[in-house]
Structure 1
Amino acid sequence: MDFDGGNKRVYNRLGGSTGGGGDSRNQKVCFQWQAGKCNRYPCPFLHSELPTSNGNGAPSKRPYSDNSGFSGNRRGGGSGFNTWGPGRGGGRGRGGGRGAVGGGGRGVVVNVEKVCTYWIQGTCSYGDRCKFLHSWSIGDGFSLLTQLEGHKKVVSGIAMPSGSDKLYTGSTDETVRAWDCQSGQCIAVINLGGEVGCMISEGPWLFVGIPNFVKAWNTQNSMEISLDGPVGQVYALVVINDMLFAGTQDGAILVWKFNVAANCFEPAASLKGHTRGVVSLVVGANRLYSGSMDNTIRVWNLETLQCIQTLTEHTSVVMSVLCWDQFLISCSLDKTVKVWFATETGNLEVTYTHPEEHEKNIVLIFSLTFLVLRFAERGKIFNKQEVRAIQTGPGSIFFTGDGTGQVRVWNWISEPAANSTQ
């Protein structure tokens, strides 16, 4: 086999030998290794980038964690072992930037923006010598606890009813799965006969949006109710003041009022105005905010159920809306996050726009500084496909569900008080 294939097979990173009469091949990086295809052992060429200097001639080292899997937070500031069973995440590369690791005068520069595809498949043979990330996340703000496998398609809803020791997940595979929070095992699968568009919990109630219906279960007494009226898929749900709001495919927001005496939900109103599907709902400051595929956000008075303002600054689908302190935060497929603030007249205006150009399979974790409205990136979560559901849990736990049907359980690590300016 020809090991000296010139520029076709290898290339010299520094333009030649470092001198000393050594073998010049030691200064060449294996082209096949760069492509992730080299199967020669031993290989006469470098399976690494050359070491990066830290300014004083010494190689720099990248931070990394071990491959022991579920081990909680090893950097301090968070809990260790938890009740979510053995983790299958972990991996090295949680540092906040690029770095190098290696010995014997050689090092590896890690590309922290790309997860190793061979590591994902469990077949990467390079370990710490691999130049791609062996981790589902980077950043010190969180750690992966475990992964829940079972759904066959997109995870579109995650909920944990209060007082329950079970986590519920809904998917476009037309099922809802119940997971035991102690073992992390799936203990029930409910077939709904329709794709789950969204899922929320309020008290002991679990609400699931499917085409033309909202399913409601009381997890304490097993009571089940089917609420009809929606036209098409139900994309968003929210509960406030004993009222259930459902954002639907035809642009309407349907409202049901809970009748305590009859222990049932009764139709109350239908809010019209959006011209396309309503995909996000949130309540704050006695207002209902709805984001839509028509690129707008509508503001509704909860007492009169009338639209009092329409926000048109986004140029694509408004995927999520969030109330934070006295601000409204919206995220759109136009690749911007907008922060809205009420003027003296009471109308909302954009006070800050944060652009994002990252790939759709990355979840960015930010801390938002109140005084200067600054988004400070705390880390990234990588996924095989885009994340369609994010839900907070008890304590410091939060959950993500992606397009492959995988649910991940994360531990959130609070920022040190000394770094907080809120």
Structure 2
Amino acid sequence: MKAWRAKEKALEILRGKPRDSYRKLPSYLYMVRHTNPGSVTRLEKAEDGRFLYAYVALYASIKGWEYCMPVVVVDGSFLKATYMGTILTACTQDAAGKILPLAFVVVDSENDTSWKWFLERIRETYGTREGMSIVSDRHESILNATFVVYPGVSHCVCLYHLWGNVKKYFRKHHKILRKIFFAMANAYTTEEFDQYMAETYRIDKRVKEYLFDIGYHRWSIAHSNVNRFMVMTSNIAESVNAADKEVSDFHIYDLLDYLMKMIDRWNNTNKNKAIATGTTLNTKYEDLMREKMKESQGMTVTPSTEYLYTVYDGGKRHVVNMRERICTCRRFQMDVMPCKHVLAIVRKYYMNEYEYCSIYYKKNNLLNTYEVPVYPIPDESIWEIPPDVIADIVLPPKGKIKPGRPQKIQHKNSGESRRKKSRITCEHL
């Protein structure tokens, strides 16, 4: 206990008192808007002046969203500071497949009210785009909030979280089911999907009923209502959570400041890589295009009309409509990128393959994503805060600190594994 008290005293000297951190919030959020005009912040308090929610969406992210694929990935991670709480995040992928954080909010916990409030702020900030989809785990509060706030937007389920549930409920056959499940989810045609589903049915009839109740369109490419741009998991949100872990015990003021600096650092790194890119597509998608080009070798192409072609891939016949950008394999329209059958046509008739790629994969969009920089907050000693902002008093939230050692490992949702990781890395960072 003596060592613990010494540590707490040292942290208080370094970071200040937790209560004082909440009092700084109105001034800090004002400075965020002042140094980054166009940013959106929101501070929600209870009737007695106690803290409820703090929301931040930087203008750099708001402008960058216009040039990114319309896929929003959301997730939450618990905090370990004095007053606990949870941080909810929303992010997307840029034209290089890197993470662009859109918004974050500190709330009391993951519940229906907090998620609804967060998604409402995102809708107010970013609006709704055509073909937009939201990807998350199967947290009940996210499902409920999405249904209310985004009734016309497709809500997709992260494959790994869904597999975790299947593994839990049908453990007896999970080793056999794993390969079939992921092949079924990534199948592009309903015929291929039905074949894998028939195999699943023979192994355990209950799996089909369970997946049907969830909705095939929420996790299967073959039944998807929108283009998911190959985003089938919530990995990018998990990567943001991993980056937050090292500051999960910070006071709220320091936490928000760290997140803002993190976004600034990521944006600068991604912008410099974009400037150094000498190809039309980023390296990730250029490599993918080359692989498909190799697979297209040896295919026979027969023109039917000016824009209709028949491609023979081994023993299979595929019809490609270059004008409508449709192939019977469905990869062309679902990935919004040329499939191997399209590339066989492109190679034979000397077409430009990049004309058939979505703008969300191209370098120009990548550069535009980071056109607006994140301006750092100046030192607190030179802040000039209006009197009405200074007069806004925020009290810490109500709550009782639990006795004993603070929790360090987040309790997983149903079906998630508890495997330990010595270091978390992600290709999207």
Q: Normalization by structure 2: what TM-score?
A: 0.23
Q: Which structure has more helix as a fraction of its residues?
A: 2
The structure showing larger relative contact order (alpha-carbon pairs under 8 Å, at least 6 residues apart) is: 2
The higher radius of gyration belongs to 1
TM-score (norm 1): 0.23
